[in-house]
Amino acid sequence: MDNEKVSYEELVSLQILNKFLNLDITNFVKSESPDWKNYNENIGLEVTIVDDSKKFFSELEKINKNKIKDRDKFRKRYIKNGGYAIPKETAQMLNLKSSMIDIGDEYFYLIYSQDNNFEKINRQFINKIKKLNNNFYLFKDNRLFIFATIYVDDKKIKNELETLILESSKYKYKYNVIYMILLHKLCVFDLENKKYTHMNIDKKLMDEINIDVEKKIKQI
């Protein structure tokens, strides 16, 4: 796996696929259009962040979690970007179960999403499928990984499969699989076989992934 000029979210996406879905990521090579190429298995993987999410994830690349000054700076930026930093004691009183980001301080990080639906995600999907048809290197198996800060119920996830299939039908070349990491779930939309699955996010496993990615970023 080539890490040259790789972003935080691009590394996280591969680790999520490996740790949560047992996907072998050994042969994925960093590239562009799409972001990851696996010539051995003929798989292309594009990674994208819905606008509301990018401002939160991108801040992680700018800090050293071991420095109090950096953690304080991150917390201020997080709040400025529209997130919430709640003292952990207060979070326990409110029975909050999972922090969006863990940087090793005494705060519980939340993102308030006003759009508890797939509208923005679908706009991003359409943008990406247009690029797939115009200027992407095509593989037999083309996949898309989307980061988004929304919270949706199971019914909306089921309806999203139908939306993705419908939008895909308008284009010659299609994504075979769409992965979505949401605030609370990892969703896998298998458009080729017209089925989907989703699972709750294991916070402990996500923390391990973040720690591993941080180490890799520092080595680049």
- Residue 203: its pLDDT value, please? 79
User: Do strands 83-87 and 107-111 pair parallel, antiparallel, or not at all (unpaired)?
Assistant: antiparallel
- pLDDT tens-digit readout, 145-197: 999 878 888 999 999 999 999 999 999 999 999 999 987 799 999 999 999 99
Q: Which residue has the higher pLDDT, 82 or 98?
A: 82
- pLDDT tens-digit readout, 27-79: 999 999 999 999 999 999 999 998 655 566 667 767 788 888 988 988 888 88
pTM for the whole structure: 0.78
Question: Residue 98: inside a domain, yes or no?
Answer: no
If we measure between CA atoms, which residue out of 68, 56, 12 comes closest to residue 208?
Answer: 12
Q: How many domains does the chain have?
A: 1
Question: Residue 177: inside a domain, yes or no?
Answer: yes
Residues whose CB falls within 8 Å of the CB of residue 129, separated by 6 or more in sequence, listed in order = 167, 168, 171, 173, 174, 175
Question: Residue 60: inside a domain, yes or no?
Answer: no
Question: Residue 159: inside a domain, yes or no?
Answer: yes
pLDDT over 50 at 95, yes or no: yes
Find the domain containing 192 and state its range.
8-52+116-204
- Residue 211: its pLDDT value, please? 81
Residue 59: how many other CB atoms lie within 10 Å = 20
- Residue 136: its pLDDT value, please? 94
Question: Residue 3: inside a domain, yes or no?
Answer: no
Question: Residue 27: inside a domain, yes or no?
Answer: yes
Question: Residue 58: inside a domain, yes or no?
Answer: no
Length of the chain: 220
pLDDT over 60 at 114, yes or no: no
If we measure between CA atoms, which residue out of 3, 27, 190, 44 comes closest to residue 131?
Answer: 44
Please give the structure tokens belonging to residue 78.
Answer: 């997080």
Element (DSSP H or E) covering residue 126: helix 119-134
pLDDT over 60 at 1, yes or no: no
